[in-house]
């Protein structure tokens, strides 16, 4: 009777050796691929050389880096070419968007070293803060003379303001109007006064009252960790003498920014939704997880990519300075009123939840889906792209 020997290793299946003729054919195909890859790299190098010529032209004439219509037309053309060649248009689009972004970043880096008004003096009020330091680097690299007025420098305010052509107020929201008033008496009449707060109506009015020269409100929709200004949005709220303010807007254009001009009142109305409610909703979800003492790492083990993405946005908020968000959320009575409406909206759903009323949920869901309209399809495409990227990364 035969018995299994536990010490006897199991026999492995015999792998058929690859025929030498197949090996030779495979090597031939790989060499052809290598040659094609070399040609691709060579073509990218030639494209880069042409980009350098474009940069020189833009630099000479202070033209913006980003040309949305040109890029979208190119992408559409490449998608069509890909489809005709039997390639996946989405693959071609992703490839070319990466190429175009690299081109923009390189152009921005080159153009950043040229100031629209190089040599002009810029005063950063609150220049030791994170955003102040961020703009200090960009202006200094572009050839501007940069001065800083921070909390301990007010005794030298008259000297620091002498001869300046641009003053940027980069201080917490709650003291912006006060700082504008203090600056007023020291400012040259022809210098531009601006701020970079996330609310615009109150600071803009304060600057207009404090300074009789050019005034413009700015709101960078990005933070100090941003490595490039490529396609970053700068909101411009007109104040006074916009023709005199033109050069600073052109400067952000040269750095690759997208300029969005809107009046201060409309800006604050839109940002109440874009920032205030969104940040508070994120805070509330994080607060709920904390009070429930949810095991985050455990939930991620069972999570879909979309949950990881959502939780990532919550974690991102709590990785930053709380005062940054409290200033934004509680910036004005209008924002507080909107938050009350939001909380009341959540409370209105309590009865539905207590009853487990699926029918009511479905009715509300369909009503809201109809209101969202075509944006839902756009959101599906964009979020799917982000999810696919997240899967690739993790």
The CATH number of residue 67's host domain is 1.20.59.10
DSSP state of 156: G
Percent of the chain with pLDDT over 90: 62
Q: Tell me how far apart the alpha carbons of residues 286 and 339 are, in angstroms, rounded to a whole number.
A: 17
87 has pLDDT over 50: yes
pTM (predicted TM-score): 0.70
Residues 233 and 163 in one domain: yes
Distance of alpha carbon 356 from alpha carbon 41, whole angstroms: 60
> 220 and 174, same structural domain?
yes
The verdict on 225 and 274 lying in the same domain is no
Q: Residue 391: is its pLDDT beyond 90? A: no
Q: Is residue 328 part of a domain?
A: yes
Of 67, 86, 109, the residue that ends a domain is 109
Whether 261 shows a pLDDT value over 60: the answer reads yes
Q: Are 326 and 273 in contact (CB under 8 A)?
A: no
Residues 179 and 203 in one domain: yes
DSSP secondary structure letters along 162-226:
TT-SEEEE-S-HHHHHHHHHHHGGGS-TTSEEEE--S--HHHHHHHHHH-SS-EEEEEESS-TT-
Do residues 142 and 237 share a domain? Answer: yes
Position 75 confidence tier, pLDDT thresholds 50, 70, 90: confident
- Give a yes or no: residue 15 inside a domain: no
Q: Is residue 14 part of a domain?
A: no
Write down which residue in 226, 244, 262 finishes a domain: 262
Q: Are residues 332 and 365 in the same domain?
A: yes
Q: Which residues, including other chains, have CB under 8 Å from residue 239's CB and lie 6 or more apart?
A: 204, 207, 208, 214, 215, 216, 217, 245
User: Domain of 295?
Assistant: 267-393
- Point out the domain boundary residue: 109, 129, 162: 109
The continuous run of DSSP H or E covering 307 comes out as: helix 305-318
* 237 and 142 together in one domain: yes
Question: Which residues are CB-contacts of 76 (< 8 A; sequence separation ≥ 6)?
Answer: none
Q: CA–CA separation, 280 vs 278, rounded Å?
A: 5
Dihedral sign from CA coordinates of 261, 65, 131, 179: negative
Return the bridge partners of 238, or none: 216
2 — pLDDT class (breaks 50, 70, 90): very low
Region of 172 (left: φ > 0; alpha: ψ -120 to 50; beta: rest) is beta
Among residues 105, 103, 172, 168, which one has the least CA distance to residue 139?
168
- pLDDT, one tens digit per residue, over 296-311 is 988 888 878 888 889 9
pLDDT digits (tens, 9 = 90+) for 371-384: 999 899 888 888 88
What's the rounded Cα separation, in Å, for the pair 330 and 347? 21
Q: Are residues 32 and 93 in the same domain?
A: yes
Per-residue confidence (pLDDT) for residue 12, from 0 to 100: 53
Angle between helices 201-210 and 173-183 (to 10 degrees): 10
Residue 19 lies in a domain: no
303 or 166: whose pLDDT is higher?
Answer: 166
Domain-located, residue 180: yes
Identify which of 379, 375, 385 has the alpha carbon closest to the alpha carbon of residue 90: 385
Q: Are the C-beta atoms of residues 389 and 383 closer than 8 Å to each other?
A: no
Q: Is residue 42 part of a domain?
A: yes
92 shares its domain with 162: no
Mean pLDDT across 95-120: 79
- 12 belongs to a structural domain: no
Check residue 1 and give its pLDDT: 47
Distance from chain centroid for Cα 245: 24
To which H or E segment does residue 124 belong? strand 121-125
Whether 207 is in a domain gets the answer: yes
The torsion of the CA quartet 310, 314, 316, 321, rounded to 10 degrees, works out to 160
- Give the Cα separation of 179 and 125 in Å (integer): 9
Same domain, 104 and 170: no
Task: Count the domains in the chain.
Answer: 3
Do 164 and 295 fall within a single domain? no
The answer on 244 and 142 residing in a single domain is yes
């Amino acid at each position: 009777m035969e018995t299994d020997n536990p010490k006897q290793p199991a026999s492995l299946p015999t792998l058929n050796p690859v025929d030498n003729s197949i090996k030779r054919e495979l090597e031939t195909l790989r060499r052809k691929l290598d040659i094609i890859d070399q040609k691709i790299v060579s073509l990218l190098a030639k494209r880069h050389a042409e980009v350098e010529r474009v940069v020189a032209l833009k630099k000479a004439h202070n033209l913006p880096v980003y040309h949305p219509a040109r890029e979208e037309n190119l992408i559409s053309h490449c998608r069509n070419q890909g489809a005709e060649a039997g390639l996946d248009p989405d693959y071609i689009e992703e490839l070319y968007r990466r190429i175009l972004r690299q081109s923009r970043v390189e152009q921005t880096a080159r153009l950043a070293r040229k100031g629209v008004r190089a040599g002009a003096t810029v005063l950063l009020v609150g220049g030791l803060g994170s955003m102040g330091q961020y703009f200090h680097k960009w202006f200094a690299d572009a050839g501007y003379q940069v001065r800083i007025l921070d909390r301990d420098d007010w005794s030298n305010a008259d000297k620091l303001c002498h001869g300046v052509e641009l003053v940027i107020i980069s201080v917490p929201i709650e003291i912006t109007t006060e700082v504008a008033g203090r600056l007023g008496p020291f400012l040259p009449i022809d210098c531009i006064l601006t701020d970079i707060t996330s609310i615009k109506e109150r600071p803009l009015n304060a600057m207009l009252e404090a300074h009789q020269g050019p005034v413009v409100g700015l709101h960078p929709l990005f933070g100090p960790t941003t490595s490039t200004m490529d396609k970053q949005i700068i909101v411009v709220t007109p104040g006074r003498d916009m023709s005199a303010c033109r050069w600073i807007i052109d400067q952000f254009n040269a750095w690759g920014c997208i300029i969005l001009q809107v009046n201060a009142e409309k800006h604050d109305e839109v940002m109440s939704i874009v920032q205030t409610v969104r940040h508070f909703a994120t805070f509330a979800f994080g607060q709920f997880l904390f009070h429930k003492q949810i095991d985050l790492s455990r939930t991620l083990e069972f999570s879909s990519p979309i949950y990881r993405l959502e939780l990532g946005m919550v974690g991102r908020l709590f990785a930053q300075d709380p005062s940054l968000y409290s200033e934004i959320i509680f910036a004005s009575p209008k924002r507080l009123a909107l938050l009350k409406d939001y909380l009341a909206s959540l409370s209105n759903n309590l009865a539905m939840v207590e009853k487990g009323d699926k029918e009511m949920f479905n009715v509300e869901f369909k009503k809201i889906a109809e209101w969202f309209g075509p944006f839902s399809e756009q959101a599906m495409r964009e979020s799917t792209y982000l999810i696919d990227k997240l899967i690739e990364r993790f």
